[in-house]
Amino acid sequence: MSTSLRLGVAEFRARPGRALLPGVALVVGVACLLAALVLSDALTRSVDEGAPLTPSSVGHVVQVKPQPYSDDPAVRAARPRLDDALLTRLSAVGRAVPVQTAQADLLDSTGRAGQKRADVHVQQPDLAHWPLESGRQPAAGGEIAVDKLTAYDRGLKPGDRVSLAAADGEPFEVTVSGVLKKGGIDSYPVLVAGPDLVRKIDPEPVTDKVWVLGGTRAEVQAAAGDAYGAWDPDPDAGKVGNDLKFFLLPFSVLALATAVFVAAATFRAVYAQRQRQTALLRCIGAQRGPLVRRSLLEALVTGAVAGIGGALLGGPMAWLLARTFDVTGISALFGAVELSPDLLPSLGYVVLGVCVSAVLSVVAAVRPALNAARVSPLAALRDADSEMPTRSVRRLRLVFGLLFTGGAVLLVLLAMAARRSAAGPLAITFSAIAAVTGLFWILGPVTVPFIARLFGKIGGTQWKLAGAEVRRMPQRSASVALPLLLASSMVTFFLVLLGTAQEMTTTLANEERPDATVVDAGDRPLPPIPAQDGVAASVLLHEAEHAAGAEPEDFKNWLKAQNVAGAERFAEGTAIVPDHLSDEKFVDSGGKRYEIVGTVPGTLTGFQPVLGGVTSGPAVKMLVALDQGTDPATFRTRLQAALPANPTVVVETDADERAEAERIMHLGTVLMMVLLGLSVAVAVTGIGTALTISVQERRKELALRRALGVTQGGLQGGVIAEAVMLALVGVIGGGVLGYGYAALAVFVTGIPFVLPGAGVALPLVIGAVGVVALAVVAAFGPSRGAARIRPAAGLASG
């Protein structure tokens, strides 16, 4: 062990840069891990700080016991409720306080309601349970507290005035008394108000549970009855704990796995550089054991140093991710904004980073160390100018590569045979693993140079020289390209799936939704709707029992304007139903039976039956078909301007449906790009380390080029061309693989594959350009080192 220690220390003293080079990828990998942990802590802290707290004076919580699901409306209506009768019984034991939530319309700066209604939590003045970030709890009947995300989006602060809509739709102003620590999920506002104000905006709030102050648990249970349960209050009931860690952690683990691949390739190259030294040690009697232990000891130290570096970078990387989430709108999905992760991780995280990095570094170095220790002493008499393996190794590699590739093809065939079953996606997953293993791991020294040769034909001299270097060290090139290829294939796979879903959603919205739908945001009866220009036809839907009613002629004219058939026989006393009810013969409503005479897509009518001639109920919805060429946004603006006294009337257009679907898909695309981009960043570091080693190995060659008249810029260009070529191999190879398996995954699920549009193609192109740019940045150091080689010194080096 002492001999191994001395050899390891001597290597660090002689060439510290080369000894620490394999740790570069681990630095980025550990930084990704700690950034995910630190950002998860900040996100969890933000969510948990805003969670409601049960006041200490509450002794018991009463809720309805879980009930079995039932489709029968009568069964659901007979279920126990948290009603006034229960409150009366509980009041005999102690003070009973219902915990209620209402719905409200928070008007914008123009005085109009939006489509996202606010949740209003009722709070008794002496039982405040929503923590505040600033200001004070609402006390008077004209005060509210708003969530921090709404305050951030609207620029609100304590003392500002905002408008709400009363239960009858009339607007009135209230004062913002405080800003909650809670943020509204996906920009849905969250408000806290007193009971008097809530009764003004919603006479029938929903009771979630009942707090009981006083009495024993047995007394409360007895007063409530067997249908209800009485529990001790849980102060942490609204907190998520560490659940959010599991959202970001898998992506950081993936980045760490990529770092291990890169580190293993770098260790292999470093040990190959020391082949002459290792062989000489073997000549003078060194055993394999001490040589392996020396390598693993170096790897342990390298990993520990990389862990410290990654820990220091984890905080700033978490801050950058937080700012990225804010700019792209991802933070709003979690109800958070302006997260402030710690720039310096805790001591526990630093220790975790060092330990993880050290262990992974040793794991990455095991196989390269064993291979390096097997070198024959005769290798000291020859140079290691290439990585050409023996014929037996090449033959064995070919056999295993073909077996894995053939297995991937066989699994694809099995998946296609098992289409529309659970076995299909599983077979596709294992096929992808087998394809990567066979084509790019086992046969990588053949596949990667072949792809690089294709790129070499489209460039000039620098490209040809770069391709020659890739072919000279095929194993190293394959090891460098593999992590980038894996990351690229995963990004492409998920983006193509998201793009396919987006295209299908857009197609569905285009075919089956009304041009415009006029409703009240709070489900109030519609006022008289004035006529507007650009309207081809419209129909009012009236409230009916388990259905909607309409004038038959108006409904048929509207469907005709929408180019939808199916209501030709619609008349008074009949019904039109959504297509999922096409097997039914009659509709029962209000004690009458209506014969079904046609079906239409459910998205046109809100998935409810339409009864002919039933117009006695309040009008709750207007369906509008616009003339060709009429702008839906203009129609909305004109209609809302014509209803100044009805601020809660909103117009939902077909374009809104598409825009909302595109927004969700865009956020998913950005999220995948950012999180999977961590693995891409780690993979690109492998290009930098490989080029650094390549420049060190080719000092004589590069010096000879300088002596023959190649400029410093020419040498730099050659190194950068090699980086770009390796990046393109990983990006193009992974892109093709990911796209192919995404198409197969969609096919085996039975969903028609829709070619993704610009919403997917553009992020992929931007991502590819970004990877190439990162590769150029990674090659900057090695290229500068190559340009600084002096011809005389380089030719004289051994």
Q: Output phi, psi for 410, to 5 deg.
A: -65, -40
Q: Output phi, psi for 473, to 5 deg.
A: -120, 70
Lowest mean pLDDT among 344-353, 363-372, 553-562, 665-674: 665-674
Where is mean pLDDT largest: 82-96, 417-431, 715-729?
A: 82-96
- pLDDT band (50, 70, 90) for residue 384: very low
Contact between residue 176 and residue 146 where contact means Cβ atoms under 8 Å apart: yes
Measure CA of the first residue to CA of the last residue in the chain; give whole Å: 31
Lowest mean pLDDT among 395-399, 413-417, 743-747: 395-399
Of the candidates 178, 15, 209, the one whose C-alpha atom is nearest the C-alpha of residue 101 is: 209
What's the pLDDT score for residue 756? 61
- β-strand partners of 162: 174
What's the pLDDT score for residue 797? 57
What's the pLDDT score for residue 673? 76
Contact between residue 595 and residue 575 where contact means Cβ atoms under 8 Å apart: yes
Q: Please write the tens of the pLDDT for every residue from 567-580.
A: 889 999 999 998 87
Contact between residue 192 and residue 120 where contact means Cβ atoms under 8 Å apart: yes
Bridge-based pairing of strands 586-589 and 592-600 is antiparallel
Model pTM score: 0.76
Residue type, 767: G
Of the candidates 60, 169, 50, the one whose C-alpha atom is nearest the C-alpha of residue 648 is: 169
Report, in angstroms and rounded to the nearest whole number, the Rg of the chain calculated over CA atoms.
Answer: 34
Q: Please write the tens of the pLDDT for every residue from 454-485.
A: 776 666 677 777 777 777 778 777 877 888 88
- pLDDT band (50, 70, 90) for residue 24: confident
Contact between residue 196 and residue 127 where contact means Cβ atoms under 8 Å apart: no
CA 473: distance to chain centroid? 37
Q: Is 756 left (phi over 0), alpha (psi -120 to 50) or beta?
A: beta
d(CA 278, CA 294): 11
User: Is the per-residue pLDDT at 551 higher than 90?
Assistant: yes
Where is mean pLDDT largest: 245-249, 329-333, 793-797?
A: 329-333
Bridge-based pairing of strands 190-193 and 118-122 is parallel
d(CA 26, CA 32): 10
Q: Please write the tens of the pLDDT for every residue from 111-165.
A: 899 888 899 999 998 899 899 999 999 987 889 999 999 999 899 999 999 999 9
The packing angle between helices 347-373 and 23-49, to 10°, is 150
The residue with tokens 């981009």 is 677
Q: Which residues of 330-357 are buried (b: 16+ CB within 10 A; e: fewer)?
A: bbbebbbbebebeeebeeebbebbbebb
Q: Within the chain, what is the greatest distance between any pair of CA atoms?
A: 105
Mean pLDDT within 616-639: 91
User: What whole-number percentage of the chain has pLDDT above 90?
Assistant: 25
Tally of CB atoms within 10 A around 668: 19
User: Is the per-residue pLDDT at 288 higher than 80?
Assistant: no
Q: Which residue has the higher pLDDT, 292 or 574?
A: 574
What's the pLDDT score for residue 457? 67
d(CA 436, CA 482): 9
What's the pLDDT score for residue 15? 59
Mean pLDDT within 716-732: 85
Indicate the average pLDDT of the chain: 83
Mean pLDDT within 694-712: 78
Mean pLDDT within 161-188: 91
Contact between residue 314 and residue 350 where contact means Cβ atoms under 8 Å apart: no
174 token code pair = 């209230």
What's the pLDDT score for residue 540? 94
d(CA 670, CA 328): 7
d(CA 43, CA 89): 42
User: What whole-number percentage of the chain has pLDDT above 70?
Assistant: 87
Q: Is the dihedral of CA 631, 633, 638, 643 positive or negative?
A: positive
Alpha helices in 549-653 (DSSP H): 552-561, 602-605, 632-641
What is the DSSP track for 642-687? T-TT-TTEEEEEHHHHHHHHHHHHHHHHHHHHHHHHHHHHHHHHHH
What is the DSSP track for 94-110? SEEEEEEEEEE-B--TT
d(CA 321, CA 342): 12
What's the pLDDT score for residue 192? 95
Lowest mean pLDDT among 341-355, 447-461, 484-498: 447-461
Q: Is 60 left (phi over 0), alpha (psi -120 to 50) or beta?
A: beta
What's the pLDDT score for residue 18? 61
Q: Which residues contact 155 (CB under 8 A, 6 or more apart)?
A: none
Residue type, 358: A
Tally of CB atoms within 10 A around 186: 15
What's the pLDDT score for residue 668? 74
What's the pLDDT score for residue 19? 61
Burial class (CB in 10 A: 0-12, 13-18, 19+), 231: middle
DSSP state of 329: T
Long-range Cβ contacts of 697-704 (<8 Å, 24+ apart) = 697/273, 698/469, 699/789, 699/794, 699/797, 700/794, 700/795, 700/797, 702/786, 702/789, 702/794, 703/789, 703/790, 703/791, 703/792, 703/793, 703/794, 703/795, 703/797, 704/791, 704/794, 704/795
Mean pLDDT within 291-297: 80
User: Is the per-residue pLDDT at 213 higher than 90?
Assistant: yes
Mean pLDDT within 259-265: 84
- β-strand partners of 594: 587
